[in-house]
Amino acid sequence: MLPFKPHIQSIKPYEPGKPIKELQREYGIRHVIKLASNENPLGPSGKAISAMRKAIREVHLYPEGSCYYLLDRLAKELDIDPGHILFGNGSNEIIELLARGFLSEGDEVISSEMTFLVYPILSQVCGAKFKAVPMKDHRYDLEGILRAITPRTKLIFIANPNNPTGTYVTAAEVEEFLSKVPEHVVVCFDEAYVDFVDAEDFPKMLEYVKSGKPNLVVLRTFSKAYGLAGLRIGYGLASKEMIQYFHKIRQPFNVNSVAQAAVVAALDDTFFLWRTKWLVVRGRKFFYRKLKKLGLEYLPSQSNFILIRMKTDGYEVYQYLLRQGMIVRPMNAYQLPDWIRVTIGRRSQNVQLIRLLKGYLEKKT
Ligand SMILES: Cc1ncc(COP(=O)(O)O)c(C=O)c1O
């Protein structure tokens, strides 16, 4: 008998969105649209592609373990001391470092229900108890989270904006919340979707990091707005003491050389970022208008995706769309069985999705 750990054996693995090639193989469909994993429909920036082509010639060499040039470039971009930044193999790796660095068996982690599934999984890997506080109007209930804190609480995860709801907590709410969290608890604000935010009352987490708040970690990623999900690169911002702690437990070459080169170039491509954000903000409005017309409920989103209530089994809608060559995300794993989550795509992709949803609804009636 292998020495499997019971708390790991009971984990349900994370189920990613269905890959395009898998659907093509299974259904024999040539033209597939994927609006399931909140990827950038524009692809990567041209500048990043050129930098990757160059970097590929040197993949026989180990990458710079310190991400020297990238660190310097991002620190300038954010106007922050490089000592506050840690790069990871996707921001997922930083979530893992938080779990490995701070959790032992019997500890508690608090977050919300209907949030990023990696938080409970990695908490469970470390033998910690994950407490999912109920949402209020599909938003994180920060007061509820405060009430759930005990002496065993080590970590709090707040996805802002949240995946899969697209909702957010405001600057005033965060200010009050942070003033009440005890210092023995590490608070992680996961800002994977921050580049798509246009709400004026969204909190400025960078300022808290710059002011030296000791128990705060802010996560960001190049997987979404920067269109580099396949390279696996994101970063954490925290106090210098916390970053030094993570350096002790990260892998020596956790960020590959092609990713480092691509991000240095992508940070210079401000036009690409602007186009991406414009596409998403316009796409959100398009969906709101069309979904209202179809009589479907949705949650206004600050992200590059929208949660839509289908009034019927969301998994059935997901399967119907698959057969038409459209991949969206069913929400069963998030206890939202009658909802689907759709990533905002290019205009033509959005139009096609609305057309298919209309066809589905007409068939049902
Ligand atoms: C809330 C949230 N955090 C983190 C991630 C992970 O991003 P990365 O690709 O940087 O690991 C995702 C990806 O879906 C996400 O939705």
Q: Which residues contact 234 (CB under 8 A, 6 or more apart)?
A: 87, 88, 90, 91, 92, 93, 94, 192, 219, 220, 221, 222, 223
215 lines ligand 1 (CB under 6 A): no
**CA of 162, closest atom in ligand 1:** 1
SS3 (DSSP) at 94: helix
User: Is 270 a residue whose pLDDT tops 80?
Assistant: yes
Q: What are 76-113's pLDDT values in tens digits? A: 999 999 999 999 999 999 999 999 999 999 999 999 99
Q: Of all atoms in ligand 1, which is nearest to the CA of residue 115?
A: 1
The arithmetic mean of pLDDT across residues 182-201, rounded, is 97
CB 235 within 8 A of CB 255: no
62-68 contacts, C-beta under 8 A, 24 or more apart = 62/253, 62/257, 63/253, 63/255, 63/256, 63/257, 63/260, 64/257, 64/260, 65/252, 65/253, 67/255, 67/260
Cβ(115) to ligand 1 under 6 A? no
Residue 338, Cα to own-chain centre: how many angstroms? 22
Lowest mean pLDDT among 4-8, 231-235, 259-263, 340-344: 4-8
Mean of the per-residue pLDDT values for the chain?
96
**Ligand 1 pocket residue status of 223, Cβ below 6 Å:** yes
* Segment (H or E) for 75: helix 68-78
H or E stretch covering 219: strand 216-221
Q: Is the beta carbon of 159 within 6 A of some atom in ligand 1?
A: yes
What is the fold, at CATH topology level, of the domain defined by 6-43+271-364?
Aspartate Aminotransferase, domain 1 (3.90.1150)
CA distance 126 to 309: 35
pLDDT of residue 233: 98
Any ligand 1 atom below 6 A from CB of 263:
no
Separation of alpha carbons 309 and 138, rounded Å: 13
How far is it, in rounded angstroms, from Cα 309 to Cα 318?
Answer: 12
Q: Answer yes or no: pTM beyond 0.85.
A: yes
When pLDDT is cut at 50, 70 and 90, the band that residue 311 belongs to is confident
Residue-wise pLDDT for 103-152, tens only, equals: 999 999 999 999 999 999 999 999 999 999 999 999 999 999 999 999 99
Structural domain boundaries of the chain?
6-43+271-364, 46-268
Q: Whose CA is nearest to atom 7 of ligand 1?
A: 91
d(CA 17, CA 279): 22
Each residue of 259-269: pLDDT tens digit? Answer: 999 999 999 99
pLDDT at residue 33, as a whole number: 95
Mean pLDDT along residues 277-284:
98
Choose between 361 and 364: higher pLDDT.
Answer: 361
Q: Is 192 in the pocket of ligand 1 (CB under 6 A)?
A: yes
Q: If you write DSSP's letter for every residue of 221-270 in order, what string do you get?
A: ESSSTTS-GGG--EEEEE-HHHHHHHHHHS-TT-S-HHHHHHHHHHHH-H
Residue 221 CA, closest ligand 1 atom number? 10
Give me ligand 1 centre to Cα 74, in Å.
Answer: 19
Fold annotation for 46-268? Aspartate Aminotransferase; domain 2 (3.40.640)
CA atoms within 13 A on the CB side of 147: 8
292 closest CA partner among 338, 347, 357: 357
| Ligand 1: nearest atom to the Cα of 38 | 14
